[in-house]
Amino acid sequence: MSRFDYVLVGGGLQSGLIALALRRRQPDATIALVERNDRLGGNHTWCFHDGDVPSGTRDWLDPLVEYRWDGYRVQFPGVQHTIAEPYAGISSARLHDIVAGALRGHPESELRLGTEVVHIEANRIELRSGETVLGTVVVDARGPRPLEANARAGYQKFFGLEVELTEGHGLDLPVVMDATVDQSEGYRFMYLLPFDERTVLVEDTYFHDTPVLDPDRLEEGIRAYIRTRGWSVSSVVRREKGVLPMPWWGRFPPPGRGPLAAGYRGGWFHPGTGYSFPVALRLADFIATRSPNALYGRELDRFARAHRRQARFSEFLNRLLFRWYPPASRRTIFERVYRLPPETVRAFYALRLGWRDRARLLIGRPPKGLSIRHRLRPPHPS
Ligand SMILES: Cc1cc2nc3c(=O)[nH]c(=O)nc-3n(C[C@H](O)[C@H](O)[C@H](O)COP(=O)(O)OP(=O)(O)OC[C@H]3O[C@@H](n4cnc5c(N)ncnc54)[C@H](O)[C@@H]3O)c2cc1C
């Protein structure tokens, strides 16, 4: 039976960030990371805003960052904003290389790929082979649980096509939302990430009432959009898809005394954007700056409660979005967010909204704002 300071179950974004934070903050700590697939990180491009990154984490995060842009654009009918906030991206391939390298570089740590965990407790896990692995801290980061049939949630659904074009795309910055596309089924936008002069990820994203995703239909829509931009595809590099819950109310148990449910599994994500990077990063830093014997307790409970308070406000916004606005006018909410001061936009994405930001989000002139007056109107039937 092997024993480690930290046993990380699931080799996705959350465990990857924890492993790197630990390597930097506690170089002697022993870590076992167990992933059922043959590679870490699945098939993603994770993006984040510069404001999502606390200064104390940059030193160990930097090697992971594969793409950096000086800002990004958002586009709505008749108006375009350029946001001068650096934006960055990490690929699954880079996460695999950096995290695997960090673990293999430590003689007493282990990376177990192609290994399924079948049972998890506070200080031990069991593998499908029957082997038991012990840990002072066991982190359960196995990704999103299937949503209950009666879960109260809307969904962010997306399908992305990374393509190489026959000629340059001409984009100098990512377009995080091009919401000039059809809005009849709910808030919808195209997301454009330029990787090099001719390679771009084009992602069709919907905020929708149901989790059903039709990749063929979305791919058709993306190809039509590419044509409207005057681009022509030379080859498809990669496809990615996702259905992320946008809950109106989350039920996530407090950390207790372990195992620690982390990442999507433990509710450590932004309910309003589906993004988990900022929250996963903060949790990784929190874990790595405590000794494994002193992780559980009042401080962790307080940290989790602070996250839940932020998440609850965001869940409340989701409820307004999905219940009080008919699909075709949901776009107006996001149009409004981008008219707010940059510090509020930054706080919204980082899930760090102060009272002033919350007031700015809620108090606005109907029908454009998430206004109280709008709330008092009859809800959108669903
Ligand atoms: C395509 C896509 C793009 C996204 N883009 C962004 C983005 O740009 N920015 C952002 O902030 N968020 C993004 N998200 C949302 C969120 O950040 C990701 O879903 C993120 O990967 C969640 O991290 P996680 O570690 O909780 O789970 P995951 O990254 O899903 O990792 C869970 C891991 O656990 C493994 N596993 C599961 N069960 C077992 C088991 N029994 N034994 C062993 N291993 C197991 C899985 O194979 C998987 O590798 C995106 C999501 C998707 C789907």
pLDDT tens digits for range 281-310: 999 999 999 999 999 999 999 999 999 999
213 in a structural domain = yes
160 in a structural domain = yes
Q: Which two tokens stand for residue 143?
A: 């990704």
187 in a structural domain = yes
Total number of domains in the chain: 1
Please tell me if the CB atom of residue 369 comes closer than 6 angstroms to any atom of ligand 1. Answer: no
Q: How confident is the model at residue 269 (pLDDT cuts 50, 70, 90)?
A: very high
Q: How confident is the model at residue 381 (pLDDT cuts 50, 70, 90)?
A: very low
Residue type at position 304? A
158 in a structural domain = yes
Tens digit of each residue's pLDDT (9 = 90 or more) over 316-326: 999 988 888 88
Q: Are 241 and 203 in contact (CB under 8 A)?
A: no
Q: Quick one: pLDDT at residue 377?
A: 53
pTM for this model (two decimals): 0.93
Please tell me if the CB atom of residue 87 comes closer than 6 angstroms to any atom of ligand 1. Answer: no
- Ligand 1 centroid vs 268 CA: distance in angstroms? 12
Kindly tell me if the per-residue pLDDT of 251 is higher than 70.
Answer: yes
186 in a structural domain = yes
Average pLDDT over residues 31-53: 94
Kindly tell me if the per-residue pLDDT of 161 is higher than 90.
Answer: yes
Mutation probe of ligand 1 site: the residue of 7, 40, 45, 46 with most atoms within 8 A of C-beta: 46
Kindly tell me if the per-residue pLDDT of 376 is higher than 70.
Answer: no
Q: Quick one: pLDDT at residue 150?
A: 54
- Ligand 1 centroid vs 331 CA: distance in angstroms? 27
* CATH number of domain containing 164: 3.30.70.1990
68 in a structural domain = no
Q: Quick one: pLDDT at residue 382?
A: 43
Please tell me if the CB atom of residue 275 comes closer than 6 angstroms to any atom of ligand 1. Answer: yes
Query: Which atom of ligand 1 is the closest one to the Cα of 142?
Result: 34
Q: How confident is the model at residue 218 (pLDDT cuts 50, 70, 90)?
A: very high
Return the minimum-mean-pLDDT range out of 73-87, 99-113, 141-155, 343-357.
Answer: 141-155
Compute the distance between CA of residue 304 and CA of residue 300 in angstroms, rounded to an integer: 6
Average pLDDT over residues 105-130: 97
Most confidently predicted of 58-67, 111-120, 180-189, 254-263: 111-120
Nearest CA to ligand 1 atom 3: 44
Which range of residues forms the domain containing residue 163?
153-247
Compute the distance between CA of residue 165 and CA of residue 162 in angstroms, rounded to an integer: 10
Q: Quick one: pLDDT at residue 325?
A: 84
Mean pLDDT of all residues in the chain? 91
- Ligand 1 centroid vs 375 CA: distance in angstroms? 34
175 in a structural domain = yes
Q: Are 20 and 111 in contact (CB under 8 A)?
A: no
Q: Quick one: pLDDT at residue 51?
A: 85
Mutation probe of ligand 1 site: the residue of 45, 239, 277 with most atoms within 8 A of C-beta: 277
Give Cα 178 to chain centroid, integer Å. Answer: 19
Nearby residues of 339 by Cβ (< 8 Å), 6 or more positions away: none
326 in a structural domain = no
List, in sequence order, every residue forming a beta bridge with 134; answer none if it has no partner.
Answer: 3, 124
Kindly tell me if the per-residue pLDDT of 228 is higher than 50.
Answer: yes
Please tell me if the CB atom of residue 34 comes closer than 6 angstroms to any atom of ligand 1. Answer: yes
Nearest CA to ligand 1 atom 53: 242
Q: Spell out the SS3 assignment of the chain.
A: CEEEEEEEECCCHHHHHHHHHHHHHCCCCCEEEECCCCCCCCCCEEEEEHHHCCHHHHHHHHHHCCEEECCEEEEECCEEEEECCCEEEEEHHHHHHHHHHHHHCCCCCEEECCCCEEEECCCEEEECCCCEEEEEEEEECCCCCCCCCCCCEEEEEEEEEEEEECCCCCCCCCEEEECCCCCCCCCEEEEEEECCCCEEEEEEEEEECCCCCCHHHHHHHHHHHHHHCCCCEEEEEEEEEEEEEEECCCCCCCCCCCCEECHHHHCCCCCCCCCCHHHHHHHHHHHHCCCHHHCCCHHHHHHHHHHHHHHHHHHHHHHHHHHHCCHHHCHHHHHHHCCCCHHHHHHHHHCCCCHHHHHHHHCCCCCCCCCHHHHCCCCCCC
**φ, ψ for residue 148, nearest 5 deg:** -65, 155
Compute the distance between CA of residue 107 and CA of residue 156 in angstroms, rounded to an integer: 41
Nearest CA to ligand 1 atom 17: 276
Q: Which two tokens stand for residue 96?
A: 């695999």
Kindly tell me if the per-residue pLDDT of 147 is higher than 90.
Answer: no
Q: Quick one: pLDDT at residue 24?
A: 95
